[in-house]
Amino acid sequence: MGPLKWWTLARESRGEPGPAGRLPAPGSSPSAWDGNRCYREPVPAIPTRPPLRPTPLVLGLWLAAFASACSTSHAAQAAEKAPHGAASPAGDTRLSVLKALKTELARSQEKLRLPEEPGPYFIRYLVRDYHEIDLAARFGALIEDSQQTARHASVEVRVGDYKFDNTADDGAAHGFDMDDFDRYDPPIVAPLGGDLEAIRGALWLQTDAQYKRALSSLHKKRGKRVTEVVEDETLPSFSKEPPTRQIDPRLVPTLNRATWATRLESASQRFKRDPKIFDATVKLNVSHQVRTVVTTEGTELVNERLIYGLHLSATTRADDGLLISHGKSYYGAQESELPDEATLLLATGALVEEVAALRRAPMLDPYNGPAILLPEAAGVFFHEALGHRLEGERQNSNSEGATFKGQVGKPILPTFISVFDDPTLGKVGPVSLNGHYDFDDEGVASRPVTLVEDGILRDYLKSRTPVKDSLHANGHGRAEGTADPIGRMANTIVRSKKQLPYPALKQLLLEEIKRQGKDFGLIIADITGGQTNTTTYDFQAFKGMPRIVYRVDAATGKETLVRGVEFVGTPIGSLNRIVAAGNEAGVFNGYCGAESGFVPVSTVAPALLISEIELQRSRRALERAPILPPPWAMPEAKQR
């Protein structure tokens, strides 16, 4: 049996362990992954390992809070605002990087080939510059104040032609080969600064290695086609797309570190109010990336991304030994979108109270019945149950369950539900969306995609790997670091024609509870994340990990906080049990992890009433709480 493939959505602080500890960096060996997880907040943003080799798929997501509305900013319009070569002043290091990429690309395109062998028909160079700022405080004291700068380079080389090249039939850059584990991999780390020869040197070595590997893969692929049947063997290997050009204006992180350090210390001090909270942090992260892409087709891009994240987390233990972790996350494209000092203090105080309430809450037994998923939980539900199953490469792989392969034009959801993915959307109301970008990592202009219209499947999320009945890219080829891009979600938007105000939605829940003869229903208000399996190696299922769940009494409608459960289900059945939706949407901003790494994403969804959802007991490690109280809770400490 092969390794399980899971996709996940979650909310843990950058650098903090998730439910199974810190996630491994892209490029880890298969044994390093125990499934695809989602966390509310990002793993370390600077990847530390080379591009992924054959490993289990991993997808995940992290998200934040919202309002509803729409505004579209297409990549073509952005290109007009910042025309090629017109945005950067003299001395801009980005232009030196661009020049180095173009110069080495021209040399490789003209001269790179072995005797009696074809040269590349396509080369893509990508360089990412990272600048990370991290501040964190715990119980009133600063525990982290760091900055990191790095530059990574990746090279894609294709040999053959657009119809048939070296890539595997499932769209991977190379098929599985045990010899890969003994082969020398050139370093992905590229020189900082603007030294043209040094930057070209990093690209030269990678290009040489990728060309040789591509030739080897092409010959092996031709040999396998002699003996093996490929289901969609007439599919082209690579789609032809128009070249793109854009240089973004420079972004500069604005941050008064001394002010924020004091602010984090003050906020984290509030966790001392509850001596049963034994671990708690307030963390600020600023992630600034500059991505430079050039291809032999003529694409030349310099794109920037800046994301501010503020993350609160607290951990305690109930009297029965169950570990309880809770948190809040805030994201923004500008510092001004983060909570101010007063709001942060209020949020920390509210988190302390919520943790105490969870500690006192009764355990919920396994349950099967109706439930309302509030917007963030509904976003996770669609992300895990539907979104990953519509990503293009999964339709081509023999190891994938391909739940919706060949279903374009057929019903897969209730007729009142439509689902879109729109990377061009920068904001919903006042909230910036993490999943916004003008161009994907293959250099294709982003565009909105209708995935499901009135319950009918219309399209998939696609990179430049063609899919049956959908041969062209739609701007969703995404990757972290130097991993190979695949079709991924960006801003996933759920809309309903059957909308109800929340009081009416709750009344409908009560009616459904009584119709089914249940004593209570549930409201899933907040969620840590989720995961899903899409492969043929195991069952087709997904799991959500809620942390705020209310039991709703059938007779009175009274809501009681409960704990200790997670919801599970199979995708087709669960998606078709949606009864109605709310009339207000919510945003979940965060990061999604998959085999191409962690990428920033968002979901926008209304609350959902589901006629039947199954909850099982959550994984639990029952341990004793700390024996002694914390030092600040001692009588002598209070007297000082």
Q: Which residue has the tokens 């119980």?
A: 139
β-sheet bridge partners, residue 82: none
Q: Find the range with the poorest average confidence among 13-27, 263-277, 451-465.
A: 13-27
For every residue of 149-160, DSSP letters joined together read EEEEEEEEEEEB
For every residue of 462-477, DSSP letters joined together read --SS-BTTB-S--S-E
346-359 residue pLDDT tens: 999 999 999 999 99
Q: Find the range with the poorest average confidence among 405-414, 526-535, 585-594.
A: 526-535
Backbone angles phi, psi at 578, to 5 degrees: -70, 125
Better-predicted residue by pLDDT, 155 or 40 = 155
Contact predicate 567/615, CB 8 Å: yes
Query: In Å, how far are 128, 176, 504 from 606, measured between CA atoms?
Result: 35, 41, 14
pLDDT confidence of residue 118: 96
Q: How far apart are CA 133 and CA 338, in angstroms?
A: 15
Contact predicate 279/326, CB 8 Å: no
Question: What's the rounded mean pLDDT across residues 456-465?
Answer: 95
Confidence of residue 488 (pLDDT cuts 50, 70, 90): very high
Better-predicted residue by pLDDT, 224 or 620 = 224
Number of neighbours of residue 145 by Cβ within 10 angstroms: 15
Average pLDDT over the chain reads: 83
3-state secondary structure (DSSP) of residue 211: helix
Q: Which of 275, 360, 379 is nearest to 564 (CA)?
A: 360
Please give the single-letter amino acid code of residue 165.
Answer: D
- The beta-strand segments (E) located in 79-220 are 120-138, 141-159
Q: Find the range with the poorest average confidence among 54-68, 267-281, 400-414.
A: 54-68
Q: Which of 538, 545, 534, 435 is nearest to 490 (CA)?
A: 435
- For residue 223, count CB atoms less than 10 angstroms from its CB and return exposed for 0-12, middle for 13-18, buried for 19 or more: exposed
Q: Which of 250, 162, 249, 181 is nearest to 473 (CA)?
A: 162
Q: How far apart are CA 436 and CA 446, in angstroms?
A: 9
Question: What's the rounded mean pLDDT across residues 370-396?
Answer: 89
Query: In Å, how far are 38, 161, 185, 394 from 29, measured between CA atoms?
Result: 19, 31, 15, 21
Q: How far apart are CA 489 and CA 588, in angstroms?
A: 13
Query: In Å, how far are 75, 313, 465, 600 from 383, measured between CA atoms?
Result: 24, 23, 22, 13
pLDDT confidence of residue 397: 67
- Pairing type for strands 245-247 and 300-317 reads parallel
pLDDT confidence of residue 624: 85
- For residue 493, count CB atoms less than 10 angstroms from its CB and return exposed for 0-12, middle for 13-18, buried for 19 or more: buried
Confidence of residue 468 (pLDDT cuts 50, 70, 90): confident
C-alpha torsion 30→31→34→38, nearest 10: -50
Q: Which of 165, 444, 425 is nearest to 293 (CA)?
A: 444
Query: Is the pLDDT confidence value at 398 over 70?
Result: no
Q: What is the DSSP letter of 618?
A: P
- Domain ranges for the chain, please list them: 90-126+150-247, 367-617
Which tokens go with 550?
């209310």
Helices 341-360 and 257-269: crossing angle in degrees, nearest 10, is 30
First to last CA, the chain: 62
Q: How far apart are CA 339 and CA 561, in angstroms?
A: 27
Question: What's the rounded mean pLDDT across residues 228-253?
Answer: 92
Q: What is the DSSP letter of 449?
A: E
Helices 196-227 and 93-111: crossing angle in degrees, nearest 10, is 40
Backbone angles phi, psi at 108, to 5 degrees: -65, -40
Query: Is the pLDDT confidence value at 171 over 90?
Result: no
Q: How far apart are CA 194 and CA 187, in angstroms?
A: 18
Q: Find the range with the poorest average confidence among 431-435, 509-513, 526-530.
A: 526-530
Better-predicted residue by pLDDT, 568 or 508 = 508
Q: Which residue has the tokens 């009494």?
A: 553
Q: How far apart are CA 320 and CA 623, in angstroms?
A: 8
Q: Find the range with the poorest average confidence among 37-41, 175-179, 236-240.
A: 37-41
Confidence of residue 407 (pLDDT cuts 50, 70, 90): confident
222, containing H or E segment: helix 196-227
| Residues 357, 362, 365, 368, CA torsion sign | negative
Contact predicate 584/573, CB 8 Å: no
Q: How far apart are CA 28 and CA 50, in angstroms?
A: 9
Question: What's the rounded mean pLDDT across residues 117-130?
Answer: 98
Q: Which of 167, 150, 188, 409 is nearest to 289 (CA)?
A: 150
Backbone angles phi, psi at 443, to 5 degrees: 85, 10
22-81 residue pLDDT tens: 222 333 332 333 334 455 665 556 765 433 332 223 333 433 333 333 333 333 344 334
Q: Which residue has the tokens 């299922």?
A: 541
Query: Is the pLDDT confidence value at 481 over 70?
Result: yes
pLDDT confidence of residue 182: 76
Sequence-ordered list of residues with C-beta below 8 angstroms from that of 381, at least 6 positions apart, any chain = 373, 530, 544, 574, 605, 608
pLDDT confidence of residue 49: 42
pLDDT confidence of residue 73: 38
Q: Find the range with the poorest average confidence among 146-150, 246-250, 460-464, 611-615.
A: 611-615
94, containing H or E segment: helix 93-111
Contact predicate 451/383, CB 8 Å: no
3-state secondary structure (DSSP) of residue 177: coil
Report the predicted TM-score, pTM, of the whole model to 2 decimal places. Answer: 0.85
Contact predicate 61/8, CB 8 Å: yes
Query: Is the pLDDT confidence value at 212 over 90?
Result: yes
Contact predicate 471/244, CB 8 Å: no
Query: Is the pLDDT confidence value at 88 over 90?
Result: no
